Structures are given as structure tokens and as C-alpha cells.
Structure 1
Amino acid sequence: MSLVEPTRWRKSRRSQQETACVEVGSIPGGGAAVRDTKRRAAGYFTTTAPQWQAFLDAIRQGRFER
């Protein structure tokens, strides 16, 4: 876990009515923290700002489409 607790946890607007989702929190420096909404107490993982940006870019490019 990071030494600084993530803030502003949020989930996608597309999944507001769902319960099996992930939430993303902000961490200093522009990275992100990710956790499971059903198991929040299990913790979260963090990414650096470049890692998070690379992940978002891959989503926008459709690299994870089924």
C-alpha cells in the first residue's frame, strides 16, 4: 500500500447501479489507487502517474475490447 491514503474514491458513471465494480482513488503525483467495491477492506493497489496514463491510453485505443 502507499504511505498516503487515496482520496476521492469514485466508480464509473456507467456502473453506478452495479455492485460488482472497481473504484479508483486519487493519490498524490497523479497516480491512482484501485479497489474492489465488494471487498473494500481487502485493500487496493496503486499505480504511478505514467502507469495509470498508459492504462487509460490502452483503454481508449480499444486494446481490452472483447
Structure 2
Amino acid sequence: MTRALPAAEGASLSEVLPPFDQLSPRQQSAIDCVLCTRRLGMNGRVLGEARHRGFVFRLWGCTPGCRAAP
């Protein structure tokens, strides 16, 4: 189950975020953006939270320049 912050305009991020079990381990551990798979480095923003197997994971994305953001 994924909870996400609403997008600034257009579709909500919960409609855009991929299912948690389809994310790579690097995306699950906040190394890569969950939307475009680019490396986050020191930049990024929390897009939402996902609960998987009883654990809560924060899903991180690129700063506003993400090419896959709505």
C-alpha cells in the first residue's frame, strides 16, 4: 500500500508511483529516484511512504527537475 503526497498539479503521486515490489533495491533504500531511477546523491525529496511486509519505507525522488514527475 502506498501513501503519497499530492502533486502540485495534475495527477496525484499515488497514481504515478510504481508498486513497491516493482522497485529495485536501490530505489527502495533511497539511493535512486523511484520515478526516473537516477542517482539521488545529496538531492531529493520525500514523495510518500509505502508499507511493505510490516515495514514503512520512505520513497524518495529527484528534486523538482525530475524528468518523470507529473
**Could you tell me the TM-score, scaled by structure 2's length?**
0.25
**Structure with the higher helix share, 1 or 2:** 1
Higher relative contact order (CA 8 A, sep 6+): 2
Higher CA-based Rg: 1
**Could you tell me the TM-score, scaled by structure 1's length?**
0.25
